[in-house]
Structure 1
């Protein structure tokens, strides 16, 4: 079984012959489900900020782990150095404060954009040599907020619009390398992030109305397992009963 996460690199070497998948936000609701789903076929490297949560995830899925603060861009080099092979990169990490323009400070904007936009762009950049060599797949976990305005949530909405733009430009720029780039955009999903957001907004939390994290992981699996002759670019995952 994997050992405890370290700040220097993933805790074990890749299993021979298995493709390697890197998942950020691995200890969040969607990230955990994605790690669990991909672990059946991939040597998964789970990136997250909580050592205890990563240890628990490793114990249940057999994944490798690395402690990583995604706004510490200098630390990304250690991820790339430790991983000579990367077939799949899934960006599941995000923060989602509900802030209108009138309420958001410069610090709020900078934190959200660093976390939700710059971090996935930079991690993709440092892993591009491995992804190109593998003709791999990059999956950005977007949001319904990436294509439409969310009232009272200008900062998060702007970050998800920007993330969608990064995915679309990356796909064009890397066409010659056969890198596949997809945006999987879930609606309201039953995660601690949504729970805390509803609580801060004084809204009720009704998990039965929301998407299960495992359903988002199934959508990621669909993208990753697409036949070699196709390029799935965008998947919207909405609750069965559409919510406002």
Structure 2
């Protein structure tokens, strides 16, 4: 993606999303940063001068179309980066429908809906959709059922989309990071009742490097699925 590319990014407020946004912002690309409310949008605009923001609640996917219809959408989109996510651990015997629905909404249904809404621009640009999935998208451990189900679903979404959009020249990438040193990881450790040591996990910058590599890959190839693991 040489030159001024435009990227729509969810989850740019922290962790992997912030690392990716910083990298693309530093090289002069155009950023359109999703925020869940006007307050968050203001913070993102301050952190990334010149970036545009889009406001909509990923927890309510059915309202995203309405929310976006009242805002100015970018006419040109080179990449749509789905990096936002939520996690809530618990055994199947205790997780409530509310917890299931929240994780499915934010981690799976909202990415599907945002993809639907931006597909016309992505097809025109012969752009790329990138999903930050999780190791939990490939394996589900005890207490991870709802989150892992949302991420297994996200892999299915990406795989179907890749087949559907191949004729339109849209590339589709899933990135499966292992545990990453981020605010989400702090929450996971709290829920697991474990001591948090960020040095044990992947630096978000390493995942950002993987993502930018997938975006910048020459047009003759696409990175379909890439797993990023802690090396220690």
Select the residue among 70, 83, 92 that pairs with 2:58. Answer: 70
Deviation at residue 51 of structure 1 after TM alignment: 4.7
So what's the TM-score if we normalise by structure 2? 0.91
Contact 1:21 1:90 survives alignment (8 Å): yes
Deviation at residue 77 of structure 1 after TM alignment: 5.0
Aligned pairs for 1:41-120 within 5 A: 41-49=28-36, 51-62=38-49, 63-73=51-61, 74-76=63-65, 78-79=67-68, 82-120=73-111
Contact 2:178 2:228 survives alignment (8 Å): yes
Select the residue among 123, 129, 139 that pairs with 1:132. Answer: 123
When residues 108 and 64 of structure 1 are mapped into structure 2, their CA distance, relative to the original with a 3 A threshold, is same
Q: Distance in 2 between matches of 1:100 and 1:153?
A: 7
When residues 107 and 59 of structure 1 are mapped into structure 2, their CA distance, relative to the original with a 3 A threshold, is closer
Contact 2:176 2:226 survives alignment (8 Å): yes
When residues 111 and 53 of structure 1 are mapped into structure 2, their CA distance, relative to the original with a 3 A threshold, is closer
Select the residue among 147, 151, 158 that pairs with 2:142. Answer: 151
C-alpha distance after superposition, 1:160-188 (max 9, x if no partner): 10000100110001110010000011110
Question: Which residue is 1:20 aligned to?
Answer: 6
Contact 2:55 2:68 survives alignment (8 Å): no
Structure 2: segments with no counterpart, 5+ residues:
none
Contact 2:37 2:57 survives alignment (8 Å): no
Question: Which residue is 1:225 aligned to?
Answer: 216
Question: Which residue is 1:174 aligned to?
Answer: 165
Q: Distance in 1 between matches of 2:60 and 2:99?
A: 17
Select the residue among 156, 173, 196 that pairs with 1:205. Answer: 196
Q: Distance in 2 between matches of 1:76 and 1:221?
A: 28
Q: Distance in 1 between matches of 2:31 and 2:68?
A: 13
Deviation at residue 109 of structure 1 after TM alignment: 1.1
Structure 1: segments with no counterpart, 5+ residues:
1-16
Deviation at residue 68 of structure 1 after TM alignment: 2.4
Contact 1:27 1:50 survives alignment (8 Å): no
SS at match of 2:191: helix
RMSD (Å) for aligned C-alpha atoms: 1.7
C-alpha distance after superposition, 1:43-78 (max 9, x if no partner): 011112365554444334322223321133323455
C-alpha distance after superposition, 1:77-113 (max 9, x if no partner): 5547522111100000110111221111111111111
